[in-house]
Amino acid sequence: MCTYATMTAAIDGSAKGPNGSWFHVTNAVAYFDHPVHAMAEHTLNLDFTDPSRGPSARVALELSADSARELVAAIQAALASAPDELR
């Protein structure tokens, strides 16, 4: 199905995007829905964007549900492993 479920987050960072160029990203969108490329019916999709630069300023990920959960855990672990003074 098209799930319509869409979660957004304001982010501050950089991503390497179209044409190998780095750009500042301000928005993240997460949704569980049909992928464009991954061979699965539904995937956890992530878009990292800077809407001020237009729709093509986007880095996209399509992850299986299990691998998305592993990624969340890895991000949490990486953040937790950093010394307090660096966070």
Helices (H), the chain: 65-81
**CB nearer another protein, residue 8 or residue 74:** 8
**CB nearer another protein, residue 15 or residue 60:** 60
**CB nearer another protein, residue 28 or residue 85:** 28
Q: Give min distance, CB of 69 to another protein, in A.
A: 20
Say if CB 7 and CB 44 are below 8 A apart.
no
Structure tokens at 9: 């987050």
Closest CA to 28 of 70, 75, 83: 75
Q: Give min distance, CB of 11 to another protein, in A.
A: 13
